[in-house]
Amino acid sequence: MKLENVLLRPVLTEKSTRGMDVANQYVFEVASQSNKVLVRRAVEELFDVKVAKVNMRNRKGKLKRVGRSVGYTKRRKEAIVTLRGSDKLDVY
Protein backbone atom coordinates (compact mmCIF):
# COMPACT_ATOMS: atom_id res chain seq x y z
CA MET A 1 0.00 0.00 0.00
CA LYS A 2 1.36 3.44 -0.92
CA LEU A 3 1.88 5.83 1.98
CA GLU A 4 -0.08 8.56 0.16
CA ASN A 5 -3.18 6.33 0.27
CA VAL A 6 -3.01 5.56 4.01
CA LEU A 7 -4.22 8.94 5.33
CA LEU A 8 -7.61 9.87 3.88
CA ARG A 9 -8.46 13.09 5.72
CA PRO A 10 -8.03 14.81 9.08
CA VAL A 11 -10.95 14.59 11.50
CA LEU A 12 -11.73 18.11 12.74
CA THR A 13 -14.17 18.07 15.63
CA GLU A 14 -14.24 20.02 18.88
CA LYS A 15 -12.67 17.12 20.75
CA SER A 16 -9.91 16.53 18.20
CA THR A 17 -9.12 20.26 18.02
CA ARG A 18 -8.73 20.34 21.80
CA GLY A 19 -6.37 17.36 21.54
CA MET A 20 -4.25 19.32 19.06
CA ASP A 21 -3.87 22.21 21.48
CA VAL A 22 -3.50 20.34 24.77
CA ALA A 23 -1.88 16.95 24.06
CA ASN A 24 -0.29 17.43 20.59
CA GLN A 25 -2.59 14.69 19.19
CA TYR A 26 -4.04 14.63 15.69
CA VAL A 27 -6.89 12.44 14.42
CA PHE A 28 -6.96 11.12 10.85
CA GLU A 29 -9.40 8.92 8.98
CA VAL A 30 -7.27 6.15 7.50
CA ALA A 31 -7.70 3.35 4.99
CA SER A 32 -9.36 0.24 6.39
CA GLN A 33 -6.36 -1.96 5.48
CA SER A 34 -3.83 0.25 7.30
CA ASN A 35 -2.14 -0.51 10.61
CA LYS A 36 -0.15 1.46 13.21
CA VAL A 37 3.18 0.98 11.46
CA LEU A 38 1.85 2.24 8.11
CA VAL A 39 0.19 5.25 9.74
CA ARG A 40 3.40 6.15 11.62
CA ARG A 41 5.50 5.93 8.46
CA ALA A 42 2.96 7.93 6.42
CA VAL A 43 2.74 10.79 8.93
CA GLU A 44 6.52 10.96 9.42
CA GLU A 45 7.22 10.95 5.69
CA LEU A 46 4.42 13.24 4.47
CA PHE A 47 4.62 15.88 7.23
CA ASP A 48 8.33 15.57 8.22
CA VAL A 49 7.64 15.18 11.97
CA LYS A 50 8.45 12.55 14.60
CA VAL A 51 5.60 10.39 15.91
CA ALA A 52 5.60 9.31 19.57
CA LYS A 53 2.52 7.06 19.55
CA VAL A 54 -0.32 5.86 17.31
CA ASN A 55 -3.67 4.59 18.57
CA MET A 56 -6.32 3.13 16.25
CA ARG A 57 -10.09 2.86 16.55
CA ASN A 58 -12.80 1.38 14.35
CA ARG A 59 -16.02 3.37 14.18
CA LYS A 60 -19.19 1.46 13.33
CA GLY A 61 -21.67 2.95 10.90
CA LYS A 62 -24.72 4.62 12.39
CA LEU A 63 -28.22 3.33 11.72
CA LYS A 64 -30.05 5.86 9.51
CA ARG A 65 -33.63 5.89 8.30
CA VAL A 66 -34.97 7.92 5.39
CA GLY A 67 -38.67 7.31 4.92
CA ARG A 68 -39.17 3.55 4.69
CA SER A 69 -35.54 2.87 3.81
CA VAL A 70 -33.24 1.78 6.62
CA GLY A 71 -29.48 1.47 6.29
CA TYR A 72 -26.11 2.18 7.83
CA THR A 73 -23.57 4.89 7.18
CA LYS A 74 -20.02 4.00 6.18
CA ARG A 75 -17.70 2.31 8.70
CA ARG A 76 -14.54 4.26 9.41
CA LYS A 77 -11.10 3.56 10.81
CA GLU A 78 -9.40 6.41 12.65
CA ALA A 79 -5.87 6.92 13.91
CA ILE A 80 -4.94 9.16 16.84
CA VAL A 81 -1.35 10.28 16.27
CA THR A 82 0.67 11.79 19.14
CA LEU A 83 3.69 13.82 18.06
CA ARG A 84 6.98 14.20 19.89
CA GLY A 85 8.19 17.44 21.44
CA SER A 86 7.25 20.69 19.79
CA ASP A 87 6.30 19.26 16.39
CA LYS A 88 3.07 20.68 14.98
CA LEU A 89 0.97 19.92 11.90
CA ASP A 90 -1.03 22.37 9.81
CA VAL A 91 -4.14 20.29 9.07
CA TYR A 92 -6.30 23.26 8.13
Q: Which domains does the chain have, with CATH numbers?
A: 3-83 (3.30.70.330)
The per-residue pLDDT for range 63-92, each reduced to its tens digit, is 999 999 999 999 999 999 999 988 888 877
Q: Residue 31 above 80 pLDDT?
A: yes
Instruction: Report the pLDDT value the prediction gives residue 86, as an integer from 0 to 100.
Output: 85
Question: Which residues, other chains included, contact 19 with Cβ-Cβ below 8 Å and sequence gap of 6+?
Answer: 25, 26, 27, 80
Gyration radius of the chain's alpha carbons: 15
Instruction: Report the pLDDT value the prediction gives residue 24, as an integer from 0 to 100.
Output: 92
Of the two residues 28 and 87, the one the predictor is more confident about is 28
